[in-house]
């Protein structure tokens, strides 16, 4: 059994915060690999399924970020897991947006979710660090992480979550370097494809009072595609 933990804060008001990219990652994995519906377990929301040859429990702690370790600790003790079988997806200020790095153990780098997990289970679990970039000043960090991704972030966020989900079986099987390389390659290919795409031709909007009576469709929010994908 492997435990994949996505870090974030519960509630619709936090759903698209940068701090919640860990939740987004495990949501993408669940959707891509056909995991069953989330249910309440271990002070969180959990879904169990298979990634490759491994049985995996996905977990989104609902204890708020600073108390994530309470939820993770319950799951670890219930399944008697080794820390090498615990993989935590979290936002990383010290990586540029769209970059992913995997490491086992190490410091918490001021991340309150990691600090709480380390306090409850120890330090030698695996981290999947998802870059969200740094606002440039320490004083701006809280505002940065607790605010939503902006519309332009969709250009890298959606393909990144898709790449993480697609490569997740390799991560479950302990091939951390392969997982990291697959995600990096997917993002490189996405960037090349984006460079080759022609600029979209602006569409003329239909007048609401046109002869056929058809009203223009309402504008979709910046994360409409993600909301449909995640079922929220």
Catalytic residue ranges: 19
Give the separation between CA 97 and CA 182, rounded to whole angstroms.
Answer: 17
- The CA distance from 113 to 130, in Å, is 14
SS percent in the chain: helix, strand, coil, step 5: 45, 20, 35
Q: Identify whether the C-beta of residue 157 lies closer than 8 Å to the C-beta of residue 121.
A: no
Nearest-5° angle of CA 18, CA 77, CA 112?
Answer: 25
User: β-strand 44-51 against 54-61: which pairing, if any?
Assistant: antiparallel
């Amino acid at each position: 059994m492997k435990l994949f933990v996505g870090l974030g804060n519960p509630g619709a008001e936090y759903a698209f915060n940068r701090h919640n990219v860990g939740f987004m990652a495990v949501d993408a994995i669940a959707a891509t690999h056909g995991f069953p519906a989330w249910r309440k377990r271990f002070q969180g929301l959990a879904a169990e399924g298979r990634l490759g040859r491994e049985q995996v429990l996905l977990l989104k702690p609902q204890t708020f970020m600073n108390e994530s370790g309470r939820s993770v600790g319950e799951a670890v003790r219930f399944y008697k897991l080794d820390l090498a079988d615990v993989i935590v997806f979290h936002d990383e200020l010290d990586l540029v947006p769209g970059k992913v790095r995997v490491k086992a153990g190490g410091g918490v780098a001021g991340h309150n979710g990691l600090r709480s997990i380390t306090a409850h289970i120890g330090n030698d679990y695996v981290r999947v660090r998802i870059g969200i970039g740094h606002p440039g000043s320490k004083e701006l960090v809280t505002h940065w992480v607790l605010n939503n991704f902006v519309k332009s972030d969709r250009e890298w966020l959606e393909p990144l979550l898709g790449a993480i989900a697609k490569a997740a079986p390799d991560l479950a099987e302990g091939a951390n370097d392969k997982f990291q390389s697959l995600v990096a390659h997917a993002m490189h290919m996405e960037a090349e494809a984006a460079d080759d795409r022609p600029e979209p031709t602006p569409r003329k909007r239909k007048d609401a009072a046109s002869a056929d009576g058809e009203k223009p469709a309402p504008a979709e929010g910046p994360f409409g595609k993600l909301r449909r994908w995640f079922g929220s």
